[in-house]
């Protein structure tokens, strides 16, 4: 049976570590880190995510700033708000809640965020440095950073291992493959056009599943003893639940538990790490800024 990697417990430990460092900054410099969240439109999902981030900031003693803009905001006005946040010395991290409305150029907006405050790690310069040998980005994207943190804190070594990343998105697949490469893994990316994915995945010592395909990876696809990090969060119909659905990952959890060495559950695996890594990035940005 696989060891279950408890993302909630790891995230709580990280938050406690962050809170201690925030207190230290406050005592030494009289300043605390600040995270700004820019939200366009008022969907329930976006408001929920913002609420989670606000609560998390309060828990570790950080300031939170919320910029609520209407769905029909002009792109120039949105960029103006970002530039104001770039100039605000109390803000050390800026995130723009995605997706943005269709009339706004997402790439243009995200590139306006100061690289020193790009705590989502999505600025082209941060991604570019991540892709280059011998260069270090100022920030790593939250979900990939969380995946590697879970492996490290579970005692899973990466150096020299075969890693397979399932999915090639800008948010997870691509950056996590670059992070694994930096950690000296031999990395293969499996995607929707990859022939015979089963046999490629079966060779992996480490699997990062981020395809957005419910229970795609079966127990028979997994090498005995492999570490499985399941980033997928998929809603599937379930008449026994009040909501009418349940959340599952990209891996068939029940089957995989019998074969894998380590595995993350869904929910309660990678999910809680995302906000913890966002806070950690904001702390790192604040330390660079405040100590100058």
The DSSP bridge pattern shows strands 245-248 and 234-237 to be: antiparallel
DSSP three-state, residue 64: strand
Q: How far is CA 101 from CA 35, 46, 87, 98, 105, in A?
A: 23, 13, 25, 9, 9
Separation of CA 12 from chain center: 16
Among 137, 206, 144, 138, which residue's Cα sits nearest to residue 172? 144
Name the helix (H) or strand (E) containing 80.
Answer: helix 75-87
- Please report which residue ranges of 132-227 form alpha helices under DSSP H: 142-153, 173-182, 197-201
Contact status, residue 160 vs residue 203, Cβ threshold 8 Å = no
Contact status, residue 208 vs residue 147, Cβ threshold 8 Å = yes
Contact status, residue 163 vs residue 204, Cβ threshold 8 Å = yes
Among 266, 9, 21, 249, which residue's Cα sits nearest to residue 149? 9
22: its two tokens = 């925030």
Q: How far is CA 270 from CA 109, 114, 171, 264, in A?
A: 27, 27, 14, 7
Please list the active-site residues. 53, 97, 120
The DSSP bridge pattern shows strands 34-40 and 93-96 to be: parallel
The neighbour count for residue 50, using CB atoms within 10 Å, is 19
């Amino acid at each position: 049976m696989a060891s279950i990697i408890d993302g909630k417990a790891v995230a709580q430990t990280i938050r406690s570590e962050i809170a201690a460092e925030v207190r230290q900054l406050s005592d030494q410099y009289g300043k605390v880190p600040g995270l700004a969240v820019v939200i366009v439109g008022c969907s329930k999902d976006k408001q929920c995510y913002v609420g989670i981030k606000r609560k998390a900031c309060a828990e570790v003693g950080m300031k939170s700033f919320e910029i609520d803009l209407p769905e029909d905001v002009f792109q120039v006005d949105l960029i103006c708000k970002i530039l104001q946040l770039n100039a605000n010395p109390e803000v050390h991290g800026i995130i723009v809640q995605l997706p943005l409305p269709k009339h706004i150029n997402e790439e243009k907006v995200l590139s306006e965020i100061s690289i020193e405050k790009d705590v989502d790690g999505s600025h082209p310069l941060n991604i570019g440095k991540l892709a280059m040998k011998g260069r270090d980005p100022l920030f790593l994207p939250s979900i990939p950073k969380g995946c590697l943190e879970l492996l490290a804190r579970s005692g899973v070594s990466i150096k020299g291992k075969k890693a397979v990343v399932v999915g090639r998105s800008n948010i997870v697949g691509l950056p996590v493959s670059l992070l694994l490469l930096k950690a000296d893994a031999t990395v293969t990316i499996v995607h929707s056009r990859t022939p015979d994915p089963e046999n490629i995945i079966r060779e992996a010592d480490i699997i990062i599943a981020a395809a957005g395909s419910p229970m795609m990876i079966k127990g028979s696809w997994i090498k005995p003893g492999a570490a499985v990090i399941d980033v997928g969060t998929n809603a599937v119909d379930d008449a026994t639940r009040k909501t009418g659905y349940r959340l599952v990952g990209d891996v068939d959890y029940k089957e995989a538990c019998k074969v894998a060495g380590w595995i993350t559950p869904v929910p309660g695996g990678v999910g809680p790490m995302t906000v913890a890594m966002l806070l950690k990035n904001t702390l790192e940005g604040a330390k660079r800024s405040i100590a100058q």
